[in-house]
Amino acid sequence: MKLGVEGVSKRFGSLTAIEEISFDVADGRFLSLLGPSGCGKSTILRMLAGLIGPSRGRVAFHGETVAAPPPGMVYVFQQYTKSLFPWLTVLANVEFGARSPHARRRGHPASREECMQTLRLVGLEEHAYKHPWQLSGGMQQRVAIARALVARPEVLLMDEPFSALDALTRESLQDLLLRLWSELGLTVVFVTHDIAESIYLSDEIVVLSRAPSRILKHLEVDIPRPREQLATRESPRFLAYRRELYDMVVAG
């Protein structure tokens, strides 16, 4: 077991955001946290990342309690415009990830050549010397993903990374993410409020209730891979999952 959430609660003042949540993420899995907006999904992800601490319980990474952001995990933010460094070029943003302390702790840091290669992987090699704000939203989020990948993470924590993008861009980035995930052997924890997105991407889905957030269901997504935007989304199994989850999420 790689990542464990063990009886975690989170209070902000007198407000309880998260109530006694436990789940595990096994090596190489793609797990989504699904729930309505404002249900505390991001709070859980921030606790997984060690950006904030739980009020009760603990988060464990390789058996060790997470007290600060550990090497081996990288967080991809929803707000890519705010997460990329506007004063650095695209390549320099990626190199920031490659030379970061966490990347160094995981062995020889990626060279400039490898950073270019990663940019090629996300299809941005010819934009390497532009600044992030000169790119479209989808491209910017791809820069953020490339920056995360060069730090050689085992786990990618993604906080609604595609929710600000238009539908077509979102789908192409979903497929890019699935490709990277399987090629690089990553473990992904993915926060979303989009039911179809969570089914399409995941091995497992943890469904959360409205605040105070509890786990309504932890289910396996039994849909074969590779998945395909049209065929998968039109398959009866996909639609059955969608109906089941829809009732759950809407009822909260």
DSSP state of 61: E
Backbone phi and psi for residue 163, each to the nearest 5 degrees, phi listed first: -70, -20
The angle, 0 to 180 degrees and rounded to 10, between the axes of the packed helices 112-121 and 90-98 is 110
Smallest separation (angstroms) from another protein to the CB of 231: 36
Q: 83 or 192: whose CB is closer to another protein?
A: 83
Mask for 43-82, x = binds another protein (CB under 8 A): ------x-x----------------xx-x-xxx-x-x-xx
List the x/- string, 96-115, binding to another protein by CB under 8 A: xx--xxxx-x----------
**207 touches 218 (CB < 8 A):** yes
Instruction: Find residue 251's DSSP bridge partners.
Output: none
Distance, CA of 106 to CA of 117 (rounded, Å): 19
Q: Which stretch, 57-65, 84-92, 179-187, 225-233, contacts another protein (CB under 8 A)?
A: 84-92
User: What is the token pair recorded at 249?
Assistant: 């999420």
Smallest distance from another protein to CB 19, Å: 24
CB 212 to another protein: min, Å: 24
Beta partners for residue 217, in sequence order: 207
Q: Which is nearer to another protein, 91 or 103 (CB)?
A: 103
Closest distance of CB 133 from another protein, Å: 4
Q: Under rule CB under 8 A, how many of the chain's residues touch another protein?
A: 28
Tally the residues of the chain: 252
Smallest gap from residue 146 Cβ to another protein (A): 13
| Rounded CA separation 82/184 (Å) | 26
Given strand 73-76, what is the order of strands in its sheet? Answer: 73-76, 155-159, 187-192, 30-34, 204-208, 215-220
Q: How far apart are CA 234 and CA 196, in angstroms?
A: 11
Closer residue to another protein, CB minimum distance, 112 or 131: 131
Write out the binding residues for another protein, residues 140-199 only, by CB under 8 A. Answer: 151
The nearest distance, CB 135 to another protein, in angstroms, is 9
Residue 23 sits in the site that holds another protein (CB under 8 A): no
* Dist. CA 176–CA 1, nearest whole Å: 26
Binding site for another protein (CB under 8 A): 49, 51, 68-69, 71, 73-75, 77, 79, 81-83, 85-88, 96-97, 100-103, 105, 131, 133-134, 151
